[in-house]
Structure 1
């Protein structure tokens, strides 16, 4: 697995964010039974920067906690069999052979705000946002109540798997 993490903002000493992100990405891959080695890109940024991206891609001129940019056009969420129908160069890095799942952009400002708001640790909030975003990279969404329920259950299970549950 290739996990590229870019820090655009200072990260507090003592926050082992690389381990948290790595563990949750691995946990999500295991939970969804992904049959491929993967590449995932994660950017840790500020409210100001994520607001600009949110404006440009979603026409919402406000910060959000996490944005996900999946690379795969799934027929059904978590169904990797669709990849067998496409050319390898469409979804796989030609240099590494890894499946390019996509990009995750997280506002660290929101991580701190939401950890305090919801009464849990910064580690748990960061892990939650990574788990949430990984599910988007697997094709899940939460536009309908049934989809929301599926995502919430999977998020809980992934966080439990990596020992970040409430």
Structure 2
């Protein structure tokens, strides 16, 4: 399953290990979330300024956030029949702040945000208690699979 991870910021250092972790987190989230094995996902690692502009343009919220997901319409296909799932955008500055706040590793927070974003692409949400519980179970299953359980 193709996952393209791009670092589009320079404020937070990114090494090969973090890029690989983001890729593995996206792949595991697609599988755990019941997505097609041929799904294509892109993950953009950005800073707060970048995600703030996206949040303002697409959600009319003029503030940074930690993760945004942009799903492609159902049925879109890549050449060769692979399904385009969508794009996940993660603020590494937010991940850095939140890992301290939640008391876990930076790597776990980045993986969590990628997984959370991919699950949104698959139709999961947290608008009600049932959805929140189902999404959290999937998130924790993926993080456990990656060796990043709480």
The TM-score normalised by the length of structure 2 is 0.91
- Alignment match, 2:9: 9
1:99 aligns with 2:83: yes
Cα deviation digits, residues 39-65 of structure 1 (max 9, x gap): 111111111111111011111100000
Cα deviation digits, residues 12-53 of structure 1 (max 9, x gap): 265611211121122112223434312111111111111111
Q: Secondary structure at the match of 1:56?
A: helix
How far the C-alpha of 1:158 sits from its partner, in A, is 1.1
How far the C-alpha of 1:93 sits from its partner, in A, is 0.6
| Superposition map of 1:69-108 within 5 A | 69-73=70-74, 90-94=75-79, 96-108=80-92
Gaps (5+ residues) in structure 2? none
| Superposition map of 1:7-156 within 5 A | 7-10=7-10, 11-12=12-13, 14=15, 16-73=17-74, 90-94=75-79, 96-156=80-140
- Residues 3 and 130 of structure 1, relative CA distance in 2, 3 Å threshold: same
Contact 1:91 1:99 in 2 (8 A): yes
- Residues 151 and 15 of structure 1, relative CA distance in 2, 3 Å threshold: same
Contact 2:36 2:83 in 1 (8 A): no
Contact 1:15 1:123 in 2 (8 A): no
RMSD (Å) for aligned C-alpha atoms: 1.6
- Greater CA radius of gyration, 1 or 2? 1
How far the C-alpha of 1:111 sits from its partner, in A, is 0.8
Aligned mates of 1:146, 1:23 — CA distance in 2: 27
The TM-score normalised by the length of structure 1 is 0.83
Q: Secondary structure at the match of 1:146?
A: helix
Q: Secondary structure at the match of 1:91?
A: coil
How far the C-alpha of 1:71 sits from its partner, in A, is 1.5
Cα deviation digits, residues 94-146 of structure 1 (max 9, x gap): 2x421100000010100100011111111000010011011101111111121
How far the C-alpha of 1:150 sits from its partner, in A, is 1.1
